[in-house]
Structure 1
Amino acid sequence: MPFHLSPALWLLLACVLVQLFYAAYYFLPFARRPSEAADGPDTEPVSILVCARNELENLRRLLPLLLQQDYPAGFELIIIDDRSTDDTYLYVQQLTQYYPHVRLVTITSTPDGLSPKKYALTLGIKTARHERLLFTDADCIPATNQWLRYMQRGFHKPADVVLGYSAYAAESGFLNKLIRFETFLTGAQYLSFAWRGYPYMGVGRNLGYTRQVFQLTKGFASHIRSLSGDDDLLVQDAVARGARVAVVADAGAHTLSEPAQTWGQWWRQKRRHLSAGSRYRWSDRLRIGTFIGVNLLFYGTTIGLLFSRPDWVPLAAVWLVRTLAMTAVYHQLGRRLEDRLPPAWLPVLDAVYFFYYLALGMSLFLYRTLRWK
């Protein structure tokens, strides 16, 4: 009897082949790229900008670490106090008395209809004294005191925009593992795509660009009324205008953030982040959507086969090949990004994440209202 596979199994196999293409073309070459040293040309001063609203405790942890950055050319640290009602103003004002390179920008109100964070960042950037701008968030910390050195090396590639990686702290519980997996997989995508010449986003927790880029894109003008996108939509605008993009993914250049503590917090955070995707260039949406889509189709087809009359042997073979290959690739990426998850958890997290992603997409389609903190 001739060998025969059902159409559903052929579809499953096609999904796996597309996933393996992404692994072989984007992920593995990026994972195997050599690390870079922190020392290098450090002749240009830098402006570090942190936008904060009611983040006093986080600033007490972050700012001493930023002030300890080892960077010979010098830097200024601009804290943008965005309508805080805690003692942020008093704390930063005290720092300015001891550190001349610490500066405070105070926002008392936001014009109607504008994104509060983008408006605050715009005013902060206008006060910056240096051409190179480096951004992080108040709830982050730099992984090392070489963070500034590493990130500034990206401008020497040469580049106008520098993309960094921001991980989440490891804690107990399944939610923490899922958040870290989602962050890791998102980072693997935007960093490896950019490394291949297809930059499409960055994260405001670890991002650098020049003042010229900000002026070239007219700041956040194209999306100033959108709550999300102060990072990825700016990268979109910059690339559309010919800006050069560099990737700095070494562990010393990372920032580390505290993850959401509840499913609800993470749900709201991810809805806000995903809402900017509709404004991406068509080619980027196709590239990202294909990767997400084939993974969703893989799991959906598998469920359909399990509830039909399955061909158990070929189904198990396809699943085994896909699981072993993608687990190995994710493990390699985790080593490259110094953001490791237990290998045994990777197949489980992968499946849960893509179903969670589907639920998020449906939520955004049905309910589009977003709120800023």
Structure 2
Amino acid sequence: MLLFIILMITAFYFIFNLMLIVVWKEMRAKHKIPPVQRDTKLTVIVPVRNEANNILQLLQDLNQQTYPFENFEVIIANDGSTDDTENIVLVFQEIAYYELKVLNLLNDSSASPKKRAIQKSIEISSGELLITTDGDCSVSRDWLSSIQQFYETKQAKLISSPVTFTEKNTFWNTIQIIEFASLIGSGACAMYLKKPNMCNGANLAYTREVFEEVNGFAGNEMVASGDDEFLMHKIAKKYPDKVFFNMDVDAIVRTTSQEDLSHFYQQRRRWASKWKHYDNWQVSALAIFIFLANLSVLIAYYLINEYLGIGILLLKFSAEFFFLSLVITFLGYRNKIIYIPIVQLIYPFYVVFFGLLAQGKGYRWKGRKLQ
């Protein structure tokens, strides 16, 4: 009976990845956005805490945008930084081509500092379309143009755009790029199918109108993480046909990967902490399915038969390999495809470990202990 269940889960996972391949190819083929007038007022919101080593790169990238500078503003929400972040931004104000604001927030005991930073930024903003990213990110010259053109063409309420890690030419960095690509790719396909399950606040856009209409982050204030996904689910519930993924290489945001295992652990624990708070059964069911698919590999190998385990591993990851290859190529890292099998060997242990860890509480992030 156990063997039958494992085989069924593996077969469904194989079919699931075949579906992702078909959807991804269709998305790429259909992504054609006609040029429209670039006059939408945009507000870029950047919550930061101790980003003195990174923030200058983002500010410089924004100074190179092809989108008209008079049509966008940037708000740096300085969330109790103890380093030189604020001074760097203040100095850059003198040479910024766009309107650059600094919003200093007190280092209080908010249960969700990032949601608070975004909320306070929105209160002083003037843009029709709100775009969030992080202080350790870099963007292309056409980043804002890509998002705005997509917004006007689709009349979108929320737009999720691609995120990847900046290449550092280390094996640890490569593992993170591939692992994260699987999340971005599957999340993009889910949005295309009108079943959004994940997005990333490092590259997210939504209208001021819809943010106010769904009452912003209300209902999730006590969950430190999820400033992106909880909001997406609220908007998708009200406007299921107005939530999109922007399949444009110019819209890719690159962020820094975690420097060591300790920081990686805390980041993934932070991400995993929000799963149990989802009120959408389809999203929860998918998370459980992915967990069981990876757990099945370990059970088959260690508890039944090692040859069976290897066979299930090969079946499970064959279609997944092709899907990840497509996503990695889109993100500009075709040279890393050869490392996908190594990540696939590690992935079952990773998913099971963090899936179980998600049932616990608490983690440390940016020098704070959060729930």
Q: TM-score, normalised by structure 2?
A: 0.88
Alignment counterpart, residue 29 of structure 1, candidates 12, 23, 31: 23
Matches within 5 A, 1:1-373: 7=1, 9-34=3-28, 36=31, 40-41=35-36, 42-72=38-68, 74-99=71-96, 101-109=98-106, 112-142=109-139, 144-155=140-151, 156-242=153-239, 244-280=242-278, 281-306=280-305, 319-340=313-334, 342-365=336-359, 367-373=360-366
What secondary structure sits across from 1:94 in the alignment?
Answer: helix
| 1:296 and 1:354 in contact (8 A); partners too | yes
| 1:188 and 1:333 in contact (8 A); partners too | yes
Deviations, residues 72-96 of structure 1 (Å, cap 9, x unaligned): 4721111112222333333322333
Give the root-mean-square deviation of aligned CA atoms.
2.4
Q: Which runs of 4+ in 1 moved over 6 A?
A: none
Tell me how far 1:267 sits from its aligned partner: 0.3
| 1:8 and 1:301 in contact (8 A); partners too | no
What secondary structure sits across from 1:297 in the alignment?
Answer: helix
| 1:19 and 1:295 in contact (8 A); partners too | no
Deviations, residues 6-65 of structure 1 (Å, cap 9, x unaligned): x55544432332112212223332134336467621231211111112212311111010
Distance 1:321 1:54 in 2: 45
Compared CA separation, residues 128 and 12, structure 1 to 2 (3 A)? same
Deviations, residues 211-247 of structure 1 (Å, cap 9, x unaligned): 0121122221211222111111111222223362011
Compared CA separation, residues 232 and 157, structure 1 to 2 (3 A)? same
Structure whose CA Rg is larger:
1
Distance 2:105 2:208 in 1: 24
Tell me how far 1:128 sits from its aligned partner: 1.1
| 1:75 and 1:101 in contact (8 A); partners too | yes
What secondary structure sits across from 1:22 in the alignment?
Answer: helix
Compared CA separation, residues 37 and 325, structure 1 to 2 (3 A)? closer
| 2:294 and 2:347 in contact (8 A); partners too | no
What secondary structure sits across from 2:131 in the alignment?
Answer: strand
Tell me how far 1:140 sits from its aligned partner: 0.6
Compared CA separation, residues 200 and 332, structure 1 to 2 (3 A)? same
Write the letter of the residue equivalent to 2:348. Answer: F
Distance 1:24 1:223 in 2: 34
What secondary structure sits across from 1:40 in the alignment?
Answer: coil
Where does the alignment leave 5 or more consecutive residues of structure 1 unmatched?
1-6
Tell me how far 1:353 sits from its aligned partner: 1.9
Distance 2:339 2:88 in 1: 42
Write the letter of the residue equivalent to 1:48. Answer: V
Identity, % of aligned positions: 24
Compared CA separation, residues 240 and 295, structure 1 to 2 (3 A)? same
Tell me how many residue pairs correspond in the alignment: 360
Distance 2:90 2:332 in 1: 36
Write the letter of the residue equivalent to 2:55. Answer: L
Q: TM-score, normalised by structure 1?
A: 0.88
Write the letter of the residue equivalent to 1:78. Answer: I
Tell me how far 1:332 sits from its aligned partner: 2.3
Write the letter of the residue equivalent to 2:59. Answer: L
| 1:216 and 1:241 in contact (8 A); partners too | no
